[in-house]
């Protein structure tokens, strides 16, 4: 049996490894020019000019199983389901018995009048890191971070020492709106290490950017020579749509990660399971391994579901853990107070969410106690 995996992120990597345990041949096509790597490390490396060290990569050419072939800089541009083959952008065709789509997501950029596309980085891939490092080498004094989520705060932490000023522009009226309650966001804003050179603009939409300044919806002009966009992700659906596979927010798969075509599977950020898409590394990793196993064995016993998200951040003096849904009743936990924010979120009897800022003591037991 030949298994083809498209996409060399963590989901594709895990899928290829798992499939290689039982298939005769596995080919992993990676659009990016480098060996598969740990994507979350990109933001941590943003402030360094050095090339990533070994721990950045998911493995090395020397430790691939003999039946697993990795092809970097290989973009799959089409799927012919009738002939059971994928078509590369070079026109080459590769037949498959089973095909696993692990094409991930792209960074979403809200619409604005972009008059300096070369100075706007939608931060997602290794090439974006290199692009950013090249700009920093030339010298950047004013940087704009579009989006007030975890990624922007991590980038602010990494880049503040290298630039004069960082402006964070957020559409919502508060920081981390996807992960925290209003009280949690307010606490973070108070506790943030408010260094000189760091400004926040809330309830602000970007209207235009020309490489010297950004104009916001209320007319505010923010000096900025470079912009990094981190406003969330959108699953890549083009290949699946072109192959006429059902898609919603992601490529629709059942709980065994199979699409409506029994030879095609999808996993990671591009997959939609029971109406949900992920966006989290651990979920992508788990789903990749399961898709790889199921594609070869045809097994359907193990059911996959995305776990309620868990987010950890340690940036700008704030150590934060947030899990599950934080829109239920907010109850203070022991240790909550001026120095630490420790809350549990309940809906009726169900403990649905948790936020710990500062003091994380007891986090393992608290996480285990959530009704998921």
Between CA 328 and CA 172 the distance in angstroms is 20
Closest approach of Cβ 231 to ligand FAD, in Å? 12
- Examine residue 269 and tell whether it contacts ligand FAD (CB under 6 A): yes
- Cross-strand bridge partners of residue 145: 168, 228
Interacting residue with ligand FAD among 98, 236, 258, 351 (CB under 6 A): 236
Selected binder of ligand FAD within 16, 27, 68, 102 (CB under 6 A): 102
Part in contact with ligand FAD (CB under 6 A); list of ranges 4-12, 61-69, 178-186, 241-249: 4-12
Cβ neighbors of 216 (< 8 A, separation 6 or more) are 169, 201, 204, 205, 206, 207, 222
Q: C-beta of 249: minimal distance to ligand FAD in Å? A: 14
Strand ranges of the sheet holding 198-201, from the earlier edge strand across to the other edge: 120-122, 226-229, 142-146, 165-169, 198-201
| Binding of ligand FAD by 12 (CB under 6 A) | yes
Figure out which of the listed residues 28, 151, 228, 253 binds ligand FAD, where binding follows CB under 6 A.
Answer: 151
Angle between helices 281-297 and 10-20 (to 10 degrees): 30
Q: Which of 261, 281, 330, 360 binds ligand FAD (CB under 6 A)?
A: 281
Using CA atoms, how far apart are residues 8 and 29, in angstroms rounded to an integer? 7
Interface segment toward ligand FAD; rule CB under 6 A; list 47-55, 96-104, 248-256, 340-348? 96-104
Among 3, 39, 200, 345, binds ligand FAD (CB under 6 A): 39
Near ligand FAD by CB under 6 A: residue from 124, 142, 252, 343:
124
39/252 with CB nearer ligand FAD: 39
Q: Which helix (H) or strand (E) is 270 found in, with range? A: none
C-beta atoms surrounding 344 within 10 Å: 22
Binds ligand FAD (CB under 6 A): choice among 47, 184, 268, 353 = 268
286 binding ligand FAD? (CB under 6 A): no
**Burial label, 37 (beta-carbon count in 10 A; 0-12, 13-18, 19+):** buried
Q: Identify which of residues 220 and 363 has a Cβ nearer to ligand FAD in the complex.
A: 363
Of residues 17, 123, 209, 345, which one binds ligand FAD by CB under 6 A?
123
Applying CB under 6 A, the span of 2-10, 92-100, 240-248, 294-302 interacting with ligand FAD comes to 2-10
Contact between 149 and ligand FAD per CB under 6 A = no
Name 52's Cβ contacts closer than 8 Å, sequence gap at least 6: 37, 41, 45
Minimum CB distance to ligand FAD smaller for 7 or for 184: 7
Smallest separation, CB 349 to ligand FAD (Å): 29
Q: Is 32 in the site for ligand FAD (CB under 6 A)?
A: yes
Q: What are all long-range contacts of 358-366, with beta carbons under 8 Å and residues at least 24 apart?
A: 358/191, 358/318, 358/319, 359/335, 360/319, 360/321, 361/335, 363/321, 366/333
Q: How far is the CB of 225 from ligand FAD (least distance, A)?
A: 21
Q: Is 324 left (phi over 0), alpha (psi -120 to 50) or beta?
A: left
Q: Of the ranges 10-18, 167-175, 195-203, 353-361, which one interacts with ligand FAD (CB under 6 A)? A: 10-18
Distance between CA atoms of residues 349 and 277, nearest Å = 26
Give the chain's radius of gyration (CA, Å).
22
Size of the site for ligand FAD (CB under 6 A): 34
Largest CA distance in the chain: 64
Q: Any idea which residue has 């970097």 for tokens?
A: 72
Contact status: 56 vs ligand FAD (CB under 6 A): no
Distance CA 273, CA 19 (A): 20
Provide the binding-site residues for ligand FAD, judged by CB under 6 A.
6-12, 29-32, 39-40, 42-43, 75-76, 102-105, 123-125, 151, 236, 239, 268-269, 279-282, 284
């Amino acid at each position: 049996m030949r298994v083809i995996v498209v996409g060399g992120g963590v989901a594709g990597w895990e899928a290829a490894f798992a499939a290689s345990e039982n298939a005769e041949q596995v080919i992993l096509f990676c659009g990016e020019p480098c060996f598969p790597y740990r994507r979350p490390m990109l933001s941590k490396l943003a402030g360094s000019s050095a090339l990533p060290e070994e721990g950045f990569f998911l493995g090395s050419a020397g430790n691939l199983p003999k039946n697993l072939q990795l092809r970097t800089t290989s973009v799959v541009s089409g799927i012919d389901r009738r002939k059971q083959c994928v078509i590369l952008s070079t026109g080459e065709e590769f037949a498959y018995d089973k095909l696993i789509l692990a094409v991930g997501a792209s960074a979403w950029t809200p619409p604005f009048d972009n008059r300096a596309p070369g100075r706007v980085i939608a931060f997602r891939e290794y090439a974006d890191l290199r692009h950013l490092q090249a700009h920093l080498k030339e010298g950047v004094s004013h940087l704009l971070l579009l989006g007030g989520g975890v990624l922007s705060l991590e980038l602010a932490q990494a880049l503040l020492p290298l630039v004069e000023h960082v402006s964070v522009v957020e559409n919502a009226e508060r920081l981390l709106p996807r992960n925290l309650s209003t009280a949690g966001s307010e606490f973070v804003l108070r506790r943030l290490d408010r260094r000189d050179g760091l400004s926040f603009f809330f309830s602000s939409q970007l209207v235009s950017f020309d490489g010297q300044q950004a104009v916001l919806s209320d007319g505010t002009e923010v000096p900025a020579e470079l912009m990094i966009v981190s406003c969330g992700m959108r699953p890549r659906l083009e290949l699946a749509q072109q192959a006429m596979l059902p898609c919603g927010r992601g490529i629709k798969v059942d709980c065994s990660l199979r699409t409506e075509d029994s030879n095609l599977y999808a996993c990671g950020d591009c997959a939609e399971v029971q109406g949900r898409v992920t966006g989290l590394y651990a979920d992508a990793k788990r789903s990749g391994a399961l898709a790889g196993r199921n594609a070869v064995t045809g097994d359907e016993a193990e059911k996959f579901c995305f776990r309620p998200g868990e987010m950890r951040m340690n940036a700008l003096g704030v150590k934060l853990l947030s899990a599950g849904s934080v829109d239920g009743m907010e109850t203070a936990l022991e240790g909550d107070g001026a120095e630490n924010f420790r809350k549990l979120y309940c809906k009726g009897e169900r403990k649905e969410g948790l936020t710990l800022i500062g003091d994380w003591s007891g986090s393992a037991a608290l996480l285990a106690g959530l009704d998921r």
